[in-house]
Amino acid sequence: MSPALDPPLVVVTGPTAVGKSALAVALAERFDAEIISADSRLVYRGLDVGTAKPSLAERSRVPHHLIDLVEPDQPFSVADFQAAAEAALDDVARRDHLALLVGGSPHYVQAVVDRLVLPAVAPQPARRQELEALATREGAGAVFARLQRLDPAAAARADPWNVRRLIRAIEVVESTGEPFSRLGRRREPARPALHLALTAPRPQLYAWIDARVDAMLAAGWRAEVEGLLARGLDPALPSLSATGYRELVQAIHGELPLATAVERIKFRTHAFARRQYTWLRRDPRLEWHLVGPELQQSAIDRVARYLARQGTDDGLREDARPGQ
């Protein structure tokens, strides 16, 4: 991509429910920026309540990209996201705006910032169906165990509950004969960016997660899932494999009491947040910011300093340096 089409870029990441979206909107309004979602679930139309998708009112305040791109039964890969993000960055650059890449899906963020070369392996529908059936019969752990045997390094970095990603890794390994862990290498150079990561004490984060689950249920999450099933969507679809959707499907089908489903949603979301931390802490570029009363102003000040340096090569090198 031509440097002229690379806008100034700020990454806002962190675990689920930590407050990334609220900070991103505040930054966008302060700096006339546009938000590019890096959330693997916000791409699906109709998955609104259970994904904490920004409301139409929020999207009217600040331009958002990469939301509601596909139907829940349409495939959508990291490579698809990367291509859509590249196009969105071009659009933002043409308007001379700041781009905010916001989300807690680390591989999505990495695909854009590090310009990953993703494996060009076409989907294998028959094999996917076999592995999806395995996950339905025996759970995500059975698919995870299959990846562990094929590529232990990839399994060590994988989310053992993300059936879609596990199946994709297996698909690539079996199609190419190469470990998935060796693919997806970075194109040089990485995009210059300021990397902000939000954090909170673990008990506080878990309390926020639990409160958000309760709020989403009160806002009609179960009815949303019932509507998706009424459309004839297969509960085994990757879009419906997200934590929360899977458990509510089980409750709707009478396989779990609703109270048990809610308890599992909270527990598994806590576990997901821990896995996000594990992944994020591998990136030395992240500047960690504790969520609190001073967060918004400190983030505004940090972004202002970053943007002030954009006109000098020395400034760009300083802000791109890991650990700043």
DSSP 258-286: HHHHHHHHHHHHHHHHHHHHHHHTT-TTP
In this predicted model, what pLDDT tens digit does every residue of 46-63 receive, in sequence order? 999 999 999 888 899 999
Q: How many Å apart are CA 267 and CA 241, to the nearest integer?
A: 16
81: CB partners within 8 A, 6+ apart: 38, 40, 43, 66, 108, 111
Q: Is residue 224 part of a domain?
A: no
Q: Is residue 255 part of a domain?
A: no
Q: Is residue 191 part of a domain?
A: yes
Confidence of residue 125 (pLDDT cuts 50, 70, 90): confident
252: CB partners within 8 A, 6+ apart: 222, 225, 226, 229
Are residues 66 and 175 both part of a single domain?
no
In this predicted model, what pLDDT tens digit does every residue of 245-303 receive, in sequence order? 999 999 999 999 999 999 999 999 999 999 999 999 999 999 999 999 999 999 999 99
Are residues 99 and 150 both part of a single domain?
no
Q: Does residue 135 register a pLDDT over 90?
A: no
Give me the CATH number covering residue 149. Answer: 1.10.20.140
Are residues 133 and 189 both part of a single domain?
no
> Once rounded to an integer, what is the mean pLDDT over residues 298-317?
76
Confidence of residue 186 (pLDDT cuts 50, 70, 90): low
- What are the DSSP calls for 57-76, one per residue? HHHHHS-EESSS-B-TTS--
Could you tell me the two tokens for 302? 């940090």
Q: Is residue 171 part of a domain?
A: yes
> Once rounded to an integer, what is the mean pLDDT over residues 89-102?
97
Q: How many Å apart are CA 318 and CA 324, to the nearest integer?
A: 8
Provide the domain count of the chain.
Answer: 2
Q: How many Å apart are CA 30 and CA 19, to the nearest integer?
A: 17
Q: Is residue 217 part of a domain?
A: no
Written as one letter, the residue type at 36 is I
Are residues 14 and 30 both part of a single domain?
yes
Q: What is the radius of gyration, based on Cα positions, of the chain?
A: 20
pLDDT at residue 4, rounded to an integer: 44
pLDDT at residue 78, rounded to an integer: 87
> Once rounded to an integer, what is the mean pLDDT over residues 66-93?
94
Could you tell me the two tokens for 42? 């916000």
Q: Does residue 319 register a pLDDT over 90?
A: no
List the domain range (segments joined by +) for residue 146. 125-182
Are residues 139 and 107 both part of a single domain?
no
Q: Does residue 6 register a pLDDT over 90?
A: no
pLDDT at residue 95, rounded to an integer: 95
Are residues 166 and 26 both part of a single domain?
no
Confidence of residue 108 (pLDDT cuts 50, 70, 90): very high
Are residues 165 and 290 both part of a single domain?
no
Q: Is residue 163 part of a domain?
A: yes
Are residues 65 and 191 both part of a single domain?
yes
CB 34 within 8 A of CB 65: yes
Cα 66 to Cα 30, 102, 103, 180, 228: the distances in Å are: 21, 11, 11, 26, 21
Confidence of residue 184 (pLDDT cuts 50, 70, 90): low
Give me the CATH number covering residue 312. Answer: 3.40.50.300
> Once rounded to an integer, what is the mean pLDDT over residues 20-29?
97
Q: How many Å apart are CA 152 and CA 99, to the nearest integer?
A: 36
Q: Is residue 309 part of a domain?
A: yes
pLDDT at residue 316, rounded to an integer: 38
Are residues 66 and 93 both part of a single domain?
yes
Q: Is residue 214 part of a domain?
A: no
Q: How many Å apart are CA 167 and CA 76, to the nearest integer?
A: 13
- List residues bridging with 194 in a β-sheet: 10
Tell me if the bond preceding 189 is cis, omega within 30° of 0.
yes
Confidence of residue 136 (pLDDT cuts 50, 70, 90): confident
pLDDT at residue 122, rounded to an integer: 66
pLDDT at residue 181, rounded to an integer: 65
